[in-house]
Amino acid sequence: MIPKSEGVLESSLYVNDVSVSVRFYEKIFGLQVISDFGERGCAMRCGDRQVLLLFKKGGSRHIQSPHDGDGELHLAFAIPASELPAWETWLAENGIVVEEKRKWELGGESVYFRDPDRHLVEIATPGVWSIY
């Protein structure tokens, strides 16, 4: 029998400049730093029980840690459908270029854009997945 899991607790992004990424996620999403790892990175509160980790690319090599990565990754933030127009306005006001808008067959909508490290960020309304 598979042991119980309560879902994803944390996700990591690997960034060139932690302070630039922190400012982006603070300003655009209102996330707050809850733990600072010095030059290695930080943890940001992302929802009630989720954490977004920002690690400096290559910043953990000197301490022999497996926390390192590279490349353009993807993450999605859940938003209420009623907030989608406000989000589109907010992104435009902050000079964020929308790369794609998509309406899904279950009725959900997604808007895609890039963070300072070119990670693909999505805001998604209910109806994107059968479970959301």
- pLDDT tens-digit profile of 99-116? 999 999 999 999 999 999
Delimit the domains of the chain by residue range. 1-70, 71-132
Asked if the domains 1-70 and 71-132 are classified in one and the same CATH topology, the answer is: yes
Q: What is the pLDDT of residues 45-79, one digit of tens each?
A: 998 999 999 999 876 666 666 667 778 999 999 99
CA distance 55 to 59: 7
Contact between 109 and 84 under an 8 Å Cβ cutoff? The reply is: yes
Q: Which DSSP string do the residues of 35-100 spell out, in sequence order?
A: EE-GGGEEEEE-SSS-EEEEEETTTTGGGT-S----S--EEEEE--GGGHHHHHHHHHHTTPPEEE
1-70 adopts what CATH topology? 2,3-Dihydroxybiphenyl 1,2-Dioxygenase; domain 1 (3.10.180)
Q: Which CATH class is domain 71-132?
A: alpha beta
**pTM of this structure:** 0.90
